[in-house]
Structure 1
């Protein structure tokens, strides 16, 4: 690349790569932004680029592949990016994710000698507006790496103004409730983790049942103060519970299909239960249904498909 310098001007380097504004993807740390650019194709179709690092403090590689949850995080970031940058949602509005799914293709998820550069095709649908303002949408994503499909996914969210959110979450906003005392982590080696600080489950007396462990000091899962358990923490709980349930802590999850019913609160115990599903002829591997409940109310469900140990 050639640097061009005009009379009285600064050096200019066209085409350099940077991340999108961290505010657009609801991250406080620039290091946690994976999206690098976006472009509008038409009113409902967009292209988004991203980069996954070779190593990450939390999204560690799994069996030589990039963590499937970094693909899920990329899909999550796309929704808020497009809502703010293309659909006119003001910064400061609050988002509620209702569902998120992702399926990866391991052949194109390998960790190589350079960070993975991704090109993502995004199709928006079910766009909802009130008084001209966006209130929610669903979108589908195809993640390509070197032209090959590395992952696919979809998500749906609604968004609301700070005033409405304040009424919705009255009495539970940040600082109004004391988070539950942090419980001891289950053994990291049983849930595919090395550090106890990355374990989000605490053991109980029941088989395949845990208490959610939400460490609000975690620098990735709690990138900034929030008044509820983040959705990505619930996905990590799903992954850890599924690995423990099949007793294969280093298995590669191939797919997550998750639905979020209500907010998971920080000041009440959340019961995480894993149930191995009967193997079907069409399943790519073992499937585990993970559910989360607080005060006998369903919070979320997630079905995880694990890679087959023979492949």
Structure 2
């Protein structure tokens, strides 16, 4: 596998070369692929300065793998939007930190398409993640490529809902410091505390953010929600270690598009008895747009469902 040159940025739906993580992909047999990636030092999703790499960085690698395999091996033409329904990362052991040299990552992928005769192409990726000759994690992605006309119809309905949502009053917020969520700078903080409700936060989006809004989006990016759930999990677990997330499982289900001009709340819905697994829900105008399970300790199983473009 090649780890020296990145794949074309268009094949992973990125505008900046620096945001491309994949370097190679090869078909092993029917439904099985090898994918190579490289992590660079101090990438935003790596959470600068930490003693380990972060699961959100791996989640982005899996998202890029899903898009690249769709274009290269499943005949999905450029210009199609990808609607993401599930994205999960389950760490088996800590991911090594990215040092002065790039960190090579290999995904052993099993990719499933629907049964013969299915009207729409929906895909599911499951992969073992190998770094430095060790199995470090497992990832899962479920998504649907969508041609522009159908996506426009889907988002047209969302635009009508957005008009009503834009009338929602701006909530009271309390800013969190970057160190509370594992970052170094203010613009990377994606959640504000809710002063009126415990275990509740408001999504904070900077549409000029160079990574989360690397390319234009008409909705809340899926990776912004993944990172926001990670930050909320860190705060809920009381993990105050600078630069460390403590998160070992992120399992996110996307159920609706989030609009950019209306508040999004993130709330703890459940906590397991030992306090290591949190259930979160993200709502906008009373409608759920995503929910997640975040683990900061002992291992537990994961599940899946449908709805936001990546």
TM-score, normalised via structure 2 length: 0.84
Do residues 197 (structure 1) and 187 (structure 2) align? yes
Do residues 33 (structure 1) and 20 (structure 2) align? yes
CA shift at 1:269, angstroms? 1.2
Q: Which runs of 5+ in 1 are unaligned?
A: 1-14
Name the CA distance, whole Å, in 2 between partners of 1:114 and 1:223.
Answer: 24
Do residues 247 (structure 1) and 233 (structure 2) align? no
CA shift at 1:275, angstroms? 4.4
Name the CA distance, whole Å, in 2 between partners of 1:184 and 1:171.
Answer: 33
Partner in structure 2 of residue 43 of structure 1: 30
Among candidates 40, 46, 52, match of residue 53 of structure 1:
40
Name the CA distance, whole Å, in 1 between partners of 2:276 and 2:49.
Answer: 17
- Are the equivalent residues in 2 in contact too, given 1:289–1:301 (CA < 8 A)? yes
SS in structure 1 of the partner of residue 152 of structure 2:
helix
- Are the equivalent residues in 1 in contact too, given 2:268–2:281 (CA < 8 A)? yes
- Are the equivalent residues in 1 in contact too, given 2:247–2:296 (CA < 8 A)? yes
Do residues 165 (structure 1) and 151 (structure 2) align? yes
- Are the equivalent residues in 1 in contact too, given 2:31–2:112 (CA < 8 A)? yes
Name the CA distance, whole Å, in 2 between partners of 1:237 and 1:21.
Answer: 28
CA shift at 1:55, angstroms? 2.1
Among candidates 264, 271, 276, match of residue 286 of structure 1:
276
TM-score, normalised via structure 1 length: 0.84
**Cα distance change, pair 188–110 in 1 and its aligned pair in 2 (3 A):** closer
Do residues 215 (structure 1) and 201 (structure 2) align? no
Partner in structure 2 of residue 103 of structure 1: 90
**RMSD (Å) for aligned C-alpha atoms:** 2.6
Among candidates 239, 245, 256, match of residue 262 of structure 1:
256
Q: Deviations over 1:250-272 (max 9, x none)?
A: 34211111111111111221111
The alignment covers a number of residue pairs equal to 287
Partner in structure 1 of residue 135 of structure 2: 149
Name the CA distance, whole Å, in 1 between partners of 2:198 and 2:277.
Answer: 17
Q: Spell out the pairing of 1:226-245 with structure 2 (5 A cutoff).
A: 226-245=217-236
**Cα distance change, pair 64–41 in 1 and its aligned pair in 2 (3 A):** same
**Cα distance change, pair 188–17 in 1 and its aligned pair in 2 (3 A):** closer
Name the CA distance, whole Å, in 2 between partners of 1:129 and 1:65.
Answer: 43
Task: Give the structure, 1 or 2, with the largest relative contact order (CA under 8 Å, sep 6 or more).
Answer: 2
**Cα distance change, pair 148–218 in 1 and its aligned pair in 2 (3 A):** same
Asked which structure has the greater CA Rg, the reply is 1
**Cα distance change, pair 150–137 in 1 and its aligned pair in 2 (3 A):** same
Partner in structure 1 of residue 104 of structure 2: 117
- Are the equivalent residues in 2 in contact too, given 1:87–1:134 (CA < 8 A)? no
CA shift at 1:112, angstroms? 4.1
